[in-house]
């Protein structure tokens, strides 16, 4: 029986509207965290799952940090070590032991040697060509440089994360806080006291309206299931990366054939 044709019981216990997640349901959690053991709750006391790998993998950041640079911002010595990494990557290698700063904060240059192998300070156009040669693309002269684990990522590289695939070993009773439409002015995942009260009422978790971040679409509304533990789940993980949302496909390259999304039917 498919997720969309299952009959889901709704009832009230301790003033909470609850729904049942059927036994055998598949849940997905994307993360960069390196778990030494099983999945564990975060600071809000819950472990969050989506009903689709496409949504879960939106939570695996492409990079740990992104810098936007242009030819004029990285052609001279800079106290920022990430800028220095970019400079060395494109062949602008300053001897920073010889750089003199006007202030202790190293915000203003007083004097500096030319980079090794250069007889002049690289121009904006020269820096632009060096970045383009490595495959970086610019928009109106600005380049997006991504870092993963403090290392520069190649133009099309992404950080490697994990997709956790969880199968319910028995039905789960959860508080249905979701109203069917996400609201940026009323973020349901901030209701920490509500989550604690629901746990005390004896439910397994909470279903909320949530938001993911898509680089192409921005804030992406969906529903998330937060569970207080993984005791009623059978969990496995596979290597996975961020993939931009695609309306045409059912899954992701790492998990191409998931069951239909079902949270909205609860």
Task: Write the pLDDT tens digit of every residue in 70-125.
Answer: 999 999 999 999 999 999 999 999 999 999 999 888 889 999 999 999 999 999 99
Domain boundary, last residue among 110, 133, 152: 152
Same domain, 53 and 131: no
- Looking at residue 40, what is its pLDDT? 86
- pLDDT bin (cut points 50, 70, 90) of residue 8 is very low
Task: Output 247 or 51, whichever has higher pLDDT.
Answer: 51
Can you give the residue range of the structural domain that contains 75? 65-152
CB within 8 Å of 161: residues ≥ 6 apart:
30, 31, 32, 57, 60, 61, 239, 240, 241, 242
CB within 8 Å of 199: residues ≥ 6 apart:
45, 228
Q: Which residue has the tokens 């809000």?
A: 44
Same domain, 84 and 210: no
Same domain, 108 and 14: no
pLDDT at 181 over 80: no
- With a pLDDT cut of 90, the percent of the chain lying above it is 69
Give, in degrees to the nearest 5, the angle at Cα 21 between 16 and 23: 140
Same domain, 195 and 244: yes
CB atoms within 10 A of CB 120: 8
Tokens of 150: 């403090």
Residue 170 to residue 191: CA distance in whole angstroms: 27
Domain boundary, last residue among 152, 175, 210: 152
Same domain, 146 and 233: no
Residue 135 to residue 141: CA distance in whole angstroms: 14
Same domain, 193 and 254: yes
pLDDT at 128 over 50: yes
Tokens of 158: 């992404």
Give, in degrees to the nearest 5, the angle at Cα 103 between 98 and 107: 80
Same domain, 190 and 137: no
Same domain, 250 and 217: yes
pLDDT at 185 over 80: no
Task: Output 128 or 7, whichever has higher pLDDT.
Answer: 128
Same domain, 47 and 116: no
Give the DSSP H/E element, type plus range, for residue 38. Answer: none
Same domain, 120 and 201: no
pTM, full prediction: 0.80
pLDDT averaged over every residue in the chain: 89
In angstroms, what CA-CA distances link 144 with 156, 256, 259? Answer: 11, 29, 36
pLDDT at 192 over 80: yes
Number of domains in the chain: 2
The stretch 178-188 carries a mean pLDDT of 73
Tokens of 114: 């030319």
Task: Output 70 or 1, whichever has higher pLDDT.
Answer: 70
Inter-residue contact 67 to 89 (CB < 8 Å): no
- Looking at residue 190, what is its pLDDT? 80
- Looking at residue 217, what is its pLDDT? 84
State residue 156 phi and psi, 5-degree precision.
-110, 10
Inter-residue contact 255 to 163 (CB < 8 Å): yes
Tokens of 207: 């279903």
- Range with the largest mean pLDDT of 157-171, 177-191, 210-224: 157-171
- Looking at residue 117, what is its pLDDT? 96
Same domain, 104 and 8: no
Domain boundary, last residue among 91, 118, 152: 152
Same domain, 36 and 168: yes
- Looking at residue 7, what is its pLDDT? 38
Inter-residue contact 39 to 48 (CB < 8 Å): no
Rounded to 5, what percent of the chain is helix, strand, coil? 20, 30, 50
- Looking at residue 168, what is its pLDDT? 98
- pLDDT bin (cut points 50, 70, 90) of residue 52 is very high
């Amino acid at each position: 029986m498919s997720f969309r044709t299952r009959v889901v019981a709704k009832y009230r216990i301790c003033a909470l509207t609850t729904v049942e997640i059927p036994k055998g349901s598949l849940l997905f959690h994307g993360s960069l965290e390196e778990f030494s053991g099983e999945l564990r709750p975060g600071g809000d006391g819950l472990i969050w799952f989506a009903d689709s790998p496409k949504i879960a993998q939106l939570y695996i950041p492409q990079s740990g940090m992104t810098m936007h640079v242009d030819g004029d911002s990285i052609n001279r010595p800079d106290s920022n070590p990430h800028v220095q990494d970019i400079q060395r990557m494109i062949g602008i290698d300053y001897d920073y032991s010889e750089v003199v700063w006007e202030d202790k904060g190293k915000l203003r240059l007083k004097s500096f040697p030319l980079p090794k192998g250069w007889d002049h300070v690289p121009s904006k156009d020269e820096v632009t060509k060096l970045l383009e040669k490595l495959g970086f693309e610019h928009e109106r002269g600005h380049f997006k440089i991504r870092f993963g684990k403090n290392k520069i990522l190649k133009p099309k590289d992404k950080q490697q994360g994990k997709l956790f695939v969880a199968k319910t070993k028995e039905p789960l009773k959860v508080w249905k806080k979701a109203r069917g439409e996400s609201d940026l002015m009323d973020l349901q995942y901030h209701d920490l006291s509500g989550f604690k009260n629901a746990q005390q009422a004896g439910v397994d978790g909470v279903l909320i309206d949530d938001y993911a971040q898509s680089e192409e679409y921005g804030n992406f509304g969906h529903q998330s299931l937060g569970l207080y533990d993984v005791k009623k789940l059978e969990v496995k993980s596979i290597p996975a990366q961020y993939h931009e949302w695609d309306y045409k496909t059912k899954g992701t390259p790492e998990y191409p054939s998931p069951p239909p999304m079902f949270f909205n039917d609860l």
